[in-house]
Amino acid sequence: MKFGVNTMIWSGGFEPDKYPFDDLKEVGVDGIEIPVFVPEDLDTAAVRRTCEAHALSVHFCSVNPDGTNPISDDAAVRSRTVAHWKNVIRTAAEAGAEQIAGPTHSPVGYLPGRRRNEDEWRWGVEFHQALHDDLADTGITMAVEPLNRFETYFLNTAADTVRFVEEIGSDRIGILLDTFHQNIEDKDVADAYRTCGEHLMHVHTCENDRGVPGSGHVDWPGVLAALKEIGYDRWMTIESFNAHIPELSAATAIWRDLAGSMDEIAIDGTRFLRDLWART
């Protein structure tokens, strides 16, 4: 198992001066997950240098920015969205990233007030299929993340996401399952991971309030036991967001401090997860 932390715990971009690298390495962090919203703005050489200097792997998280939507009824928007994500893939390769993860299927917060329809499902499948060759050429994988009902209407449950990636049919595309979202959407969070089975490519380890893993009511023993049952050995990455950055706070509806410090979420959380994993 590999243990990671998402750098949005500290900042909304790649700002390594803000990351407590020594403390992270001391508790056994294996890699960082960095947000990439505008790929042209990322200094990929700096990412490589920083990760090599600290012996850390790197992977990306991303979303559909304004003006893009894989399931839009406008073919020009869908085409523009494919081009954007191909650019994200190229940037990930330049930065040495192993994987891109996130709600690739639709814009976060896009809620038209109805259920998804068959056209949207088909467009979502076709969008991901259009990325297969670029992923294969670069050796990068993509993990599709369902979100809770307050952030998307398109994919919420583990079962729906399994059906989605099976229709995509790419060995480069799997599932990111986040304990925060599945704590809302699935009847049994641990069982959601069993449902994903071989399709699971990434795990976000988030407490129910996005605070320190182990400090809330997520069924961590059950989740980690389920991961061992299905033979999962990829990434468990702590994801949280800095409430003192207005853009992140507004986007994630975090209006209070989630811990004594943001470092606690990453450091105490990793220590908790590593210890529990060893005992599971």
Q: What are the catalytic residues?
A: 145, 239
What's CA 166's distance to the chain center, in Å?
Answer: 19
Kindly tell me the burial class for residue 216, based on how many C-beta atoms sit within 10 Å of its own C-beta (0-12, 13-18, 19 or more): middle
The neighbour count for residue 250, using CB atoms within 10 Å, is 10
3-state DSSP assignment of residue 5: strand
Q: Which residue has the tokens 């523009």?
A: 80
What token pair was written down for 263?
């470092």
Q: 35, 13 in Cβ contact below 8 A?
A: yes
Asked whether the beta carbons of 210 and 180 are under 8 A apart, the reply is yes
Residue pointed to by tokens 């060893």: 278
The DSSP code for 4 is: E
The residue among 180, 181, 193, 188 whose CA lies nearest residue 152 is 181
Secondary element (H or E) of residue 264:
helix 262-279
Question: Cα(227)–Cα(1) distance, rounded to whole angstroms?
Answer: 10
- Residue 177 and residue 102: Cα distance in Å, rounded? 9
